[in-house]
Amino acid sequence: MFDPREKIALFIDGANLYATSRALGFDIDYRKLLSHFQSEGYLLRAYYYTALIEDQEYSSIRPLIDWLDYNGYTVVTKPAREFTDATGRRKIKGNMDIELAVGALELAGTVDHYVIFSGDGDFRTLVEALQRKGRKVSIASTMTSNPSMISDDLRRQADHFIELSALKSKIGREGGERVARRPATPEFIEDDEL
């Protein structure tokens, strides 16, 4: 699937990858993830996109963001908006789709092979645009969870599909290792869910 001469870039939709790995029952070891793709070709960049609640005194995702930032990832964040839905549940609105798409398109002259960690069908148009520019695009998500975490349209558009459950032994965190986790509540939602 990868040509060792290719320049690879990873684009990680943080909230989506977190939900996917959780549905598969394992935590991502981001050091192993980086090493795995460095062994597949020339890893040019690894981007991690996430929204953060800026006014919180402590965010459970902050240690992960700080670690990624110091260990080979380019972290892209923006402030999330907090609100209460009609049922009284506290929710966070923080969609990073546009930021990820713009970042990917900006590198189209440099990157040969994109690996997008998301099953969000909104990225189908981005994949199509990158392919028109002569770039290969792999999508990393899962079809093994119930329900599936990947849009059928996105999977069909991609040049390659990477089943995350098949990578568990290569990128999964060992049982006893400490992990920075996203908060169980409030719930992160996408813009189109409002």
What is the Cβ-side half-sphere exposure of residue 175, based on CA atoms within 13 angstroms? 0
Name which of 13-17, 32-36, 64-68, 187-191 the model is least confident about: 187-191
Burial of 20 (0-12, 13-18, 19+ CB in 10 A): buried
Q: Which residues contact 45 (CB under 8 A, 6 or more apart)?
A: 9, 10, 74, 107, 111
Question: Quick one: pLDDT at residue 58?
Answer: 66
Structure tokens at 176: 């006893």
Question: Which pLDDT tens digit goes with each residue over 40-91?
Answer: 999 999 999 998 877 666 677 889 999 999 999 999 998 887 788 889 888 7
Closest by CA position to 117, among listed 49, 170, 173, 168: 49
The closest alpha carbon to 109, from 140, 134, 84, 72, belongs to 134
SS3 139: strand
| 100-112 pLDDT per residue, tens | 999 999 999 999 9
- What pLDDT does residue 47 have? 98
pLDDT digits (tens, 9 = 90+) for 108-164: 999 999 999 999 999 999 999 999 999 999 999 999 998 899 999 999 999 999 999
User: Residue 188 — pLDDT band, cuts 50, 70, 90?
Assistant: very low
Closest CA to 33 of 117, 149, 145: 117
In the chain, domain spans: 7-193
Under CATH, domain 7-193 is a member of which superfamily?
Answer: 5'-nuclease (3.40.50.1010)
User: Is residue 34 pLDDT above 80, yes or no?
Assistant: yes
State how beta strands 136-141 and 160-163 pair: parallel
Mean pLDDT within 10-26: 95
**pLDDT at site 122:** 95
**Which helix (H) or strand (E) element contains residue 50?**
strand 42-52
Task: Give the per-residue pLDDT at 53.
Answer: 78
